[in-house]
Amino acid sequence: MSGTHSILFVPGDGIGPEVMEEVRRVIDWFARKRNLHVEIEDALIGGACYDAHEVAILDETVEKAKRADVVLLGAVGGPKWRDVPFEQRPEAALLKLRKELDLFANLRPAICFAPMADASSLKRELVEGLDILIVRELTGGIYFGTPRGIEDLGNGEKSAVNTQRYDSREIRRIAQVAFLLARTRRSLVTSVEKRNVMETGILWHEEVTRTHEREYSDVQLEHLLADACAMELVRRPKRFDVILADNLFGDMLSDEAAMLTGSLGMLPSASLGEMDKDGRRAAMYEPVHGSAPDIAGESVANPIASVLGFAMALRYSFNRNEDAALLEQAVNDTLEDGVRTADIWQEGCEKVSTSGMGENIVSRLESNAAAS
Ligand code: NAD
């Protein structure tokens, strides 16, 4: 795709700036060697923003995020900001961005690179080559539904309530995301719910089926009860391509799928907003891990989750599938070469720093490009 892509770069706190520096290195390579035109603007977020401005995020940063094609986030938070006012805690900046950009679709890939297959709790043959994408509804369902609360019954007992509520539109728009993404992959969507015991499950099933029939019948659709899906994920995970789930089930299933792949330092995620009439949608890419204050400043953090977040941006926002695959292949080959940061180091491998990992990934991009 031609044109210039605008990126808002928000490295954040702790290891955020360290790992994002390696993303910058990778972006530079794509700009020089693959004709990727990007405009990068930097902004503070989280504790770093609080230190400078006494707020977790500036309104002008939110506006820049709305205008940018993608937001690339490092991580926020840390013990230094434990006592800041509740509404200015670093995590509040993320919630504000998600809300203001209406990022209702959360994408969590679970990819198992062959050299890392032994880090999984499952047998190598079950996970080697695994490539699943979990599409989770992020702004509705039981985490937001009302009524909610805890009531004192006055007899020494209490009663608590949460409400699971979905309307047709919320289900349709997340289903559309899943079908569209499946088209860029292996074209199979597995929609999960509990229609056997929940009315929201019945509506979910109906709306997903109707959306499929109307607009996406070229994609294969199957329905699975959420508990059956949890079992299948550890029994035969490679049977899945895209898993579509509500907020609650998506939360559980994406963590389960993540653990199939081994390490926290390897896992990216994306959050997408609604598509406008020009086919453009807000998007934020970030690693699943946090700011890791225990290792911040030591140059030992693994930058792969953030680098793979950029691969997702290439695929899902910039429509550059080939470049995304190139980057994922370079990460795979770097691991195959035995290059490891401390968190994924094994006997016989070479231990490298954060920048060492970035340099090796770029060398692999370079040598793979020369060989092709
Ligand atoms: P964490 O993910 O930061 O760290 C958990 C453990 O994993 C730590 O031992 C850490 O050293 C290790 N780790 C994480 N990422 C790594 C990487 N890339 N390379 C090597 N090792 C890595 O989770 P936590 O300790 O629970 O949280 C620390 C801070 O991060 C808290 O303030 C929390 O609120 C925040 N947090 C932010 C986000 C986000 O910005 N999206 C997400 C989760 C936690």
Q: What is the pLDDT of residues 271-296, one digit of tens each?
A: 999 988 888 899 999 999 999 999 99
Question: Of 80, 143, 238, 351, which is the active-site residue?
Answer: 143
Contact 26, 310 (CB under 8 A): yes
Q: Does residue 28 carry a catalytic annotation?
A: no
* CA 319 and chain centroid, separation: 17
Q: Write phi, then psi, for 187 (nearest 5 degrees).
A: 65, 35
Three-state secondary-structure class, residue 91: helix
Q: Which atom of ligand 1 has the smallest separation from the CA of 77?
A: 32
Written as one letter, the residue type at 3 is G
User: For the residues 197-224, what does the mean pLDDT come to?
Assistant: 98
Q: Measured between alpha carbons, how far is 76 from 286 in angstroms, rounded to an integer?
A: 11
pLDDT-based confidence at residue 255 (cuts at 50, 70, 90): confident
Q: Exposure string (b/e) for 341-357, b if CB count within 10 Å is 16 or more?
A: bebbbeeeeeebbbebb
User: For the residues 167-186, what does the mean pLDDT come to?
Assistant: 96
Q: Would the pLDDT of 302 be above 50?
A: yes
Q: Which atom of ligand 1 has the smallest separation from the CA of 76?
A: 40
Q: Would the pLDDT of 1 be above 50?
A: no
Q: How is residue 288 written in tokens? A: 């699943």
Written as one letter, the residue type at 202 is I
User: For the residues 180-187, what does the mean pLDDT come to?
Assistant: 93
Q: Measured between alpha carbons, how far is 259 from 340 in angstroms, rounded to an integer?
A: 19
Residue 8 Rama label (left phi>0; alpha psi -120 to 50; beta) = beta
Q: How is residue 299 written in tokens? A: 């140059």
Which position has the higher pLDDT, 257 or 360? 360
- Give the single-character DSSP code of 117: G
Q: Which atom of ligand 1 has the smallest separation from the CA of 306?
A: 18
Q: Measured between alpha carbons, how far is 99 from 271 in angstroms, rounded to an integer?
A: 11
Q: Would the pLDDT of 9 be above 50?
A: yes
Question: For residue 307, how far is its CA from the centre of ligand 1 (angstroms)?
Answer: 16
How many Cα atoms are found within 13 Å in the side-chain-facing hemisphere of 61? 24
Q: Does residue 118 carry a catalytic annotation?
A: no
Question: Of 194, 246, 333, 343, which is the active-site residue?
Answer: 194
* CA 211 and chain centroid, separation: 24
The per-residue pLDDT for 277 is 87
Q: Tokens 């297959």 — which residue?
A: 117
Beta-bridge mates of residue 286? 269
Which amino acids bring their CB within 6 angstroms of ligand 1? Answer: 15, 19, 75-78, 91, 94, 264-265, 286, 289-295, 301-302, 305, 343
Q: Does residue 50 carry a catalytic annotation?
A: no
Q: Measured between alpha carbons, how far is 73 from 94 in angstroms, rounded to an integer?
A: 9
Length of the chain: 372
Question: For residue 18, how far is its CA from the centre of ligand 1 (angstroms)?
Answer: 13
Q: Which atom of ligand 1 has the smallest separation from the CA of 303?
A: 18
Q: What is the pTM of this model?
A: 0.91
Question: For residue 338, how far is its CA from the centre of ligand 1 (angstroms)?
Answer: 24
Q: Measured between alpha carbons, how far is 223 from 229 in angstroms, rounded to an integer?
A: 9
Three-state secondary-structure class, residue 186: coil
Question: Of 13, 69, 251, 333, which is the active-site residue?
Answer: 251
Q: Measured between alpha carbons, how far is 282 from 276 in angstroms, rounded to an integer?
A: 9
Beta-bridge mates of residue 340? 351
Question: Of 131, 227, 238, 337, which is the active-site residue?
Answer: 227
